[in-house]
């Protein structure tokens, strides 16, 4: 009997090992695997769950929205904040139902994903410049060129003439500037570097924009925690974090001069103003460096990204409808949760564009909604 158990254990172990080994060898022909697995996943997934992944920025809002949606409909939406790039990658690999990203798909990602996708705007948020200056120095003024030169490492000290000239009457200490940036790739970085590339030719040629860039100066902190830790602990530090983060942690943040020449304090109102623009039909637009006179210049949308044709990998019409209904709810009822959590809800026009995009989703070529 003892032997039997042992033998059983061995064969089980050997089988497990073989499984791992086989899986390892088969990484190349995933297409056949996909077909084989399609039947399984269709059956195992066909209960009331929806799986999503991506942007960490939108995670708190989604957690609130989906908890409410669960209470109303009983559908469990599992959203994991693995990062925008990760969300797109998982959608490309078809391991999730939807991805969420702080930036639209770039050309390479569009080519790699191989099928038309839809970008549905969810909410927008601001990236603020937070700093640590001893003394009562809340909301100092900064201009785009000054920000670019600080992050390029050209302005090295806080009492630089260029900073002083836009902050007349404010006593700024003569501290060296310590730049803090995100070390991990993030949508926050994407929005911030997109802004800098728009306002500074120097930045565009030397660094460029992306979720992770080759920083010419400063220290990297991991996640919002890392950056805010650095800024809070180091006098003279400046960094960029999401508005919610600065508010929650009671950190100082700067007013920034926008395109129209006004110094704008980041707030839900000024972000909403920035988002109140004419959206292109695919809604793929960066809100940075807005034309709106009272719009905050460093803000951006978060999108949910789904496949336009929902009949892939053995998905049922029911699954597709469930997903679309959730997204429809997100851009309507769900928007009520945005403001209390310091996100800017969609403007009426953005909502109309999003509705239109959602309606263009198909199953077997037929409209779902």
Partner 1 sequence: MPANSVLRVSYFIQIMDETKRKRKTKNSYGQIRAESLFKRTLVGIGAGMIVLVLGILFTLIVESIPSIRHLGARYLWGTTWDPVNNVYGAAPFLLGTLLTSFLALIISIPFSFAIAIYLGEYNPKGWLSSFLKNTVELIAAVPSVIYGFWGLLVLVPLVRTLEIKLGVLPYGIGIFTASLILAIMIIPYAASLGREMIRLVPSPLKEAAYSLGATRYEVIKNVILPYTKSGLFAGILLSLGRALGETMAVTMVIGNTSMIPTSIFAPGNTMASVIANEFTEADHTVYLSALIELGLVLFLVTVVINMAGKRIIKKFTTE
Partner 2 sequence: MNVNVKYRVGKSKGVQALIVFFAFLITVPLLLIILYIFREGITKINWTFLTKIPKPVGETGGGIANALIGSALIVLTASVLAVPLGIMCGIYLSENKTGRLSYWSRLSVDVLQGVPSIVIGIVVYFWIVKPVGTFSAFSGSVALAIMMLPILIRSTEETLKMIPFSLKEAGLALGLPYHRVILKVIVPCGISGILSGIMLSIARIAGETAPLLFTAFGNPYLNINLAKPMQSLPLMIFNYATSPYDDWHNMAWGAALILLFTVLLLNIITKLTTRRWNVQL
Contact 130, 228 (CB under 8 A): yes
Q: Which of the listed partners (partner 1, partner 2, none) does 186 bind, with a CB threshold of 5 to 8 Å by partner kind? A: partner 1
Q: What's the rounded Cα separation, in Å, for the pair 362 and 315?
A: 12
User: Is 88 a residue that touches partner 1 (CB under 8 A)?
Assistant: yes
Cβ proximity to partner 2: between 81 and 299 the closer is: 81
User: Is 184 a residue that touches partner 1 (CB under 8 A)?
Assistant: yes
Enter the tokens of residue 190: 């994407």
Q: Which of the listed partners (partner 1, partner 2, none) does 175 bind, with a CB threshold of 5 to 8 Å by partner kind? A: none
For 230-239, give one letter per residue: b (16+ CB within 10 A) or e.
Answer: bbbebebbbb
Sole binder of partner 1 in the list 153, 208, 293, 340 (CB under 8 A): 208
Contact 122, 303 (CB under 8 A): yes
Q: Which residues contact 210 (CB under 8 A, 6 or more apart)?
A: 189, 190, 193
Q: Under rule CB under 8 A, which residues in 130-169 are in contact with partner 1?
A: none
User: Is 38 a residue that touches partner 1 (CB under 8 A)?
Assistant: no
Q: Which of the listed partners (partner 2, partner 1, none) does 28 bind, with a CB threshold of 5 to 8 Å by partner kind? A: partner 1
The per-residue DSSP string of 156-174 comes to -BTT-HHHHHHSTT-----
Positions that interact with partner 2 (CB under 8 A) = 2-3, 6, 9-10, 12-13, 16-17, 20, 23-24, 26-27, 30, 33-34, 37-38, 40-41, 44-45, 49, 51, 53, 56, 59-60, 63-64, 66-68, 70, 76, 78-82, 86, 93-96, 223-225, 242, 244-245, 248-249, 313, 340-341
Q: What is the DSSP letter of 309?
A: B
For residue 124, the tally of other CB atoms under 10 A from its CB is 26
Q: What's the rounded Cα separation, in Å, for the pair 42 and 230?
A: 47
Cβ proximity to partner 1: between 185 and 314 the closer is: 185
Q: Which of 215, 49, 295, 294 is nearest to 286 (CA)?
A: 295
Q: Could you give the 3-state DSSP secondary structure of residue 333?
A: helix
Instruction: Count interface residues toward partner 1 (CB under 8 A).
Output: 51
What does the binding site for partner 1 look like in residue numbers (CB under 8 A)?
3, 6-7, 10, 13-14, 17, 20-21, 24-25, 27-28, 82-86, 88-89, 106, 108-109, 112, 176, 178, 183-187, 207-215, 218-222, 225-226, 229-230, 233-234
């Amino acid at each position: 009997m003892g032997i039997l158990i042992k033998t059983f254990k061995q064969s089980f172990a050997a089988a497990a090992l073989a499984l791992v080994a086989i899986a390892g060898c088969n990484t190349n022909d995933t297409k056949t695997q996909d077909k084989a697995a399609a039947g399984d996943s269709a059956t195992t997934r066909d209960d009331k769950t929806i799986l999503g992944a991506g942007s960490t920025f939108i995670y708190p809002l989604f957690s609130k929205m989906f908890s409410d949606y669960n209470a109303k409909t009983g559908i469990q939406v599992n959203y994991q904040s693995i990062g925008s790039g990760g969300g797109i990658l998982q959608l490309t690999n078809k391991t999730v139902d939807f991805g969420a990203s702080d930036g639209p798909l770039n050309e390479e990602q569009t080519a790699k994903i191989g099928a038309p996708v839809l970008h549905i705007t969810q909410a927008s948020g601001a990236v603020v410049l937070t700093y640590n200056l001893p003394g009562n120095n809340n909301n100092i003024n900064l201009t785009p060129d000054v920000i670019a030169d600080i992050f390029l490492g050209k302005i090295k000290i806080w009492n630089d003439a260029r900073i002083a000239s836009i902050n007349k009457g404010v006593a700024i200490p003569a501290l060296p500037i310590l730049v803090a940036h995100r070390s991990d790739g993030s949508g926050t970085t994407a929005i911030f570097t997109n802004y800098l590339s728009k306002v500074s030719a120097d930045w565009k040629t030397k660094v460029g924009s992306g979720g992770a860039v080759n920083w010419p100066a400063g220290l990297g902190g991991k996640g919002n925690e890392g950056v805010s830790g650095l800024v809070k602990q180091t006098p003279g530090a400046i960094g960029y974090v999401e508005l919610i983060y600065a508010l929650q942690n009671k950190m100082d943040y700067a007013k920034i001069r926008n395109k129209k020449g006004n110094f704008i304090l980041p707030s839900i109102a000024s972000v909403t103003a920035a988002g109140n623009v004419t959206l292109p039909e695919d809604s793929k637009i960066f809100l940075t460096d807005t034309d709106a006179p009272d719009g905050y210049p460093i803000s951006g949308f978060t999108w949910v990204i789904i496949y336009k044709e929902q009949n892939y990998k053995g998905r049922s019409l029911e699954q597709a409808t469930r997903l679309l209904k959730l997204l429809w709810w997100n851009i309507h009822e769900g928007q009520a949760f945005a403001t209390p959590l310091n996100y800017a809800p969609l403007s009426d026009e953005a909502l109309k564009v999003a509705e239109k995009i959602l309606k263009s989703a198909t199953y077997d070529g037929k409209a779902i909604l």
